Amino acid sequence: MENQKTDVVIVGSGVAGLYCALNLPRDKNILMITKEDVESSDSFLAQGGICVLRDDSDYDSFMEDTLKAGHYKNRRESVDIMIRSSRETIQDLIQYGVEFTKENGKEVYTREGAHSKPRILFHEDITGKEITSKLLTQVKKLDNVTIMEYCTMVDLICQNNRCAGILVRDKEGHFFTIEACYTLLACGGVGGLYKHSTNFRHLTGDALAICLKHKIELEHIDYVQIHPTTLYSTKPGRRFLISESVRGEGALLYNKNGERFANELLPRDALTKEIRKQMAIDQMPYVHLSMVPLGKETILNHFPNIYQHCLEEGYDVTKEPIPVVPAQHYFMGGIHVDAFSKTTMDMLYAAGETSCNGVHGANRLASNSLLESLVFAKRAAQQMTEQFPESMEQLPEHIQFNKLVGSLNMKEYNDVELLQQQYKTMILEEMEREKNSDE
Ligand SMILES: Cc1cc2nc3c(=O)[nH]c(=O)nc-3n(C[C@H](O)[C@H](O)[C@H](O)COP(=O)(O)OP(=O)(O)OC[C@H]3O[C@@H](n4cnc5c(N)ncnc54)[C@H](O)[C@@H]3O)c2cc1C
C-alpha cells in the first residue's frame, strides 16, 4: 500500500482545518484531506455571522449569554478563551481579506436569539462562504500545504495511545496511508446521520466512531442541537436554514390561524420545543415564519441568499410567510479536548464541530461556532508548533509505521457501505448510552 509522509495531516477542509494550516510553521509539510470537494463543508453554509467581543464592557454579558444558552454545562475556561481571543481572530480574518458588512464605513453588528446585545459580524447572509473561501484562497497560496479532495479517513493508525497517521480511501476505492507527526481531526458535525438536517449529507461523524474504536475519550455526544427554523420541504437532502438573525431582526412566527405563539428570540432548544408543541396542536408538519415585518430593503440587503432561495422554492418572503420546521443543525458534544485542542491520545488533536472543548455546553449560542472553531484550531497549531519534535524517530514511543500498517486487517475496510453503517451504529448507540446516563 502506498504511504505518504508528512509533518501534519489535517482531516477536513472547513474553517477549523484551514485556519490550523494557516497557523502552522511554513517549514512544516501539511497534507489536508477532505471527503468531498474542498467547498463542501458546513463552514461554507454558515449564514448568520460570527460573534466578537466589541469592547470589554460586553465581556460579562457575552459570557452570561453563552453560559445561559448552554444551560450552564459549559466549560467556563473555554468560553473565556474564546471571548478573549475573538477580536484578534476577527483581525486575522480581515487581514486574510474577509469583508464584513459595513454602514458608513463602519462594521455593523447584528443580534440573534438569546444574545442580549448585537455583537455579531456578518457578510450579508453568506458569512461562512465569505470567511471560508478567503481562508481557502490563503491556504492555496502556501507551498507547504497540499489539499487532497475526495479522500476519506477510514481509520487512525496508532499504537500505545500514540497516533502515527491515518488510513485513507480515495475516490477510486484505493487505500493509502499518511504517516504524520501530528494529526488534526477537523471533520465537522454529524448531520449526515439524521434524516432532516441542515448539514452536508457526507458529514457523518466518522472521526467520532474512529475515536470510539480506539478508546479516545468523547464528551457529551448526546448534545445535539436542533435548529428551530428550516424551510419546510418534502424534497430529500439537506434542509435550508432560515437564519436566526432573521428573527433577531424582527421576523415573527405564526400558527395555522395566523396567531403568534412564542417569543421568537428564545434560545434554540426552547423555541424548538414551542414550535413542535404548536405543530402538534395544529396537526401540521410546519409553522409559519413571516419576514414581511423586516421590510423589503432589509430583506434584500441583509438576506439576499435567503430571499433568492425561497423565491426558487416558490415563496416571496417580502410578501408572504414561509413554512418552517425544526431540523438537526449542530453538534455540541464531540471528541474531548483540552484548552489546546489536544485529545486524550498523544500527537492527536481535534478542532471545530467534531471536538468538544466545552464552549457550547448543552446548547450552542448562535454564531459562536465559527469563532470557537477558529480560536481552538489556532491553539492546536500553536501547541504543535511549540512542541514539534526534531524528528519522529525522537518520540518516546517510536512506532515502526510500516510494521503497524502491515498488521492492519484490510478486510475491515473493503466494504464501504458496511463500514459506514458500522460507524453510524457505533455513534448512535453511544449517543443513546450517554443520553440514558445523563437522565
Ligand atoms: C446551514 C448552516 C448555517 C450555519 N450558520 C452559522 C453561523 O451563522 N454562525 C456560526 O458561528 N456557525 C454557523 N453554523 C455552524 C458552523 O458553520 C460550523 O459549526 C463550522 O463551520 C464547523 O466547521 P468545521 O471546520 O468544524 O467543519 P466543516 O466546515 O463541516 O468541515 C468538515 C470537513 O471535514 C471533512 N470530513 C468529514 N469526515 C471526513 C473523513 N472521514 N475524511 C476526510 N474528510 C472528512 C469534510 O469533507 C469537511 O471538509 C452553521 C451551520 C450550518 C449547517
Give the CATH number of the domain where residue 114 resides: 3.50.50.60
- Binned at pLDDT 50, 70 and 90, residue 276 comes out as very high
CA distances from 116 to 248, 272, 326 (A): 11, 19, 23
In a shared domain, residues 159 and 218: yes
Domain finish residue from 276, 296, 328? 328
| Contact 33 CB / ligand 1 (< 6 Å) | yes
Q: How confident is the model over 3-32, as pLDDT tens digits? A: 999 999 999 999 999 999 999 999 999 999
Can you spell out the DSSP letters for 355-417?
EE-SSSTTSPPTT-HHHHHHHHHHHHHHHHHHH--S-GGGSSS---HHHHHHT--THHHH-HH
Instruction: Report the separation in Å between the CA atom of 35 and the middle of ligand 1, taken as the mean of its atom positions.
Output: 12
Catalytic residue list contains 268: yes
161: exposed, middle or buried (C-beta count within 10 Å: 0-12, 13-18, 19+)? middle
What one-letter code names the amino acid at 244? E
Which residue did the predictor score with more confidence, 196 or 283?
283
- Binned at pLDDT 50, 70 and 90, residue 439 comes out as low
Instruction: Report the separation in Å between the CA atom of 130 and the middle of ligand 1, taken as the mean of its atom positions.
Output: 14
For residues 379-408, average pLDDT: 87
In a shared domain, residues 215 and 249: no
In a shared domain, residues 214 and 343: yes
CA distances from 353 to 271, 319, 336, 359 (A): 22, 36, 11, 11
Q: Which atom of ligand 1 is nearest to the CA of 240?
A: 1
In a shared domain, residues 107 and 165: yes
Tell whether the model's pLDDT for residue 203 goes beyond 80. Answer: yes
In a shared domain, residues 181 and 248: no
For 169, left (φ over 0), alpha (ψ -120 to 50), or beta?
A: beta
Domain finish residue from 328, 353, 369? 328
For residues 235-250, average pLDDT: 91
For residues 371-395, average pLDDT: 92
DSSP class of 32: E
Task: Name residue, grid cell 470537494.
Answer: 37
CB 189 within 8 A of CB 354: yes
Instruction: Report the separation in Å between the CA atom of 67 and the middle of ligand 1, taken as the mean of its atom positions.
Output: 22
- Binned at pLDDT 50, 70 and 90, residue 169 comes out as very high
In a shared domain, residues 61 and 157: yes
Tell me which H or E stretch contains 136: helix 127-140
Angstrom distance (rounded) from CA 118 to CA 112: 8
In a shared domain, residues 157 and 283: no
Domain finish residue from 328, 363, 384? 328
- Please provide the average confidence, as pLDDT, over all residues in the chain: 95
In a shared domain, residues 45 and 19: yes
CB 83 within 8 A of CB 64: no
Angstrom distance (rounded) from CA 222 to CA 351: 18
Query: What is the model's pLDDT at position 185?
Result: 99
Residue 47 three-state SS = coil
Instruction: For ligand 1, atom 20, name the residue with the nearest CA.
Output: 43
Selected catalytic residue, list 75, 119, 238, 268 = 268
Query: What is the model's pLDDT at position 399?
Result: 81
Tell whether the model's pLDDT for residue 244 goes beyond 90. Answer: no
CA angle 69, 71, 73 (to 5 degrees): 120
Q: How many domains does the chain have?
A: 2
Angstrom distance (rounded) from CA 357 to CA 354: 10
Tell whether the model's pLDDT for residue 93 goes beyond 90. Answer: yes
Which residue did the predictor score with more confidence, 122 or 237?
122
Provide the strand spans (E) within 303-353. Answer: 322-331, 334-336, 348-350
For position 314, which CATH number holds?
3.90.700.10
**What range does the domain containing 299 cover?**
228-328
CA distances from 339 to 182, 189, 327, 355 (A): 17, 20, 30, 11
Instruction: Report the separation in Å between the CA atom of 76 and the middle of ligand 1, taken as the mean of its atom positions.
Output: 23
For residues 88-100, average pLDDT: 98
For residues 147-172, average pLDDT: 97
Tell whether the model's pLDDT for residue 437 goes beyond 90. Answer: no
Cell digits of residue 282: 395544529
Instruction: For ligand 1, atom 50, name the residue with the nearest CA.
Output: 46
159: exposed, middle or buried (C-beta count within 10 Å: 0-12, 13-18, 19+)? middle
- Binned at pLDDT 50, 70 and 90, residue 196 comes out as confident
Q: What would you report as the CA-atom Rg of the chain, rounded to the nearest whole angstrom?
A: 22
| Contact 356 CB / ligand 1 (< 6 Å) | no
In a shared domain, residues 102 and 210: yes
In a shared domain, residues 308 and 343: no
Cell digits of residue 175: 487505500
316: exposed, middle or buried (C-beta count within 10 Å: 0-12, 13-18, 19+)? middle
Query: What is the model's pLDDT at position 390?
Result: 81
In whole angstroms, what separates CA 297 from the centre of its chain?
31
For residues 374-393, average pLDDT: 93
CB 182 within 8 A of CB 381: no
CB 70 within 8 A of CB 104: no
- Binned at pLDDT 50, 70 and 90, residue 397 comes out as low
In a shared domain, residues 165 and 197: yes
Q: Of all residues in the chain, what percent carry a pLDDT higher than 90?
A: 91
Tell whether the model's pLDDT for residue 393 goes beyond 80. Answer: no
Q: How confident is the model over 287-327, as pLDDT tens digits? A: 999 999 999 999 999 999 999 999 999 999 999 999 999 99
Q: Model-level pTM? A: 0.95
CB 255 within 8 A of CB 298: no
In a shared domain, residues 255 and 136: no
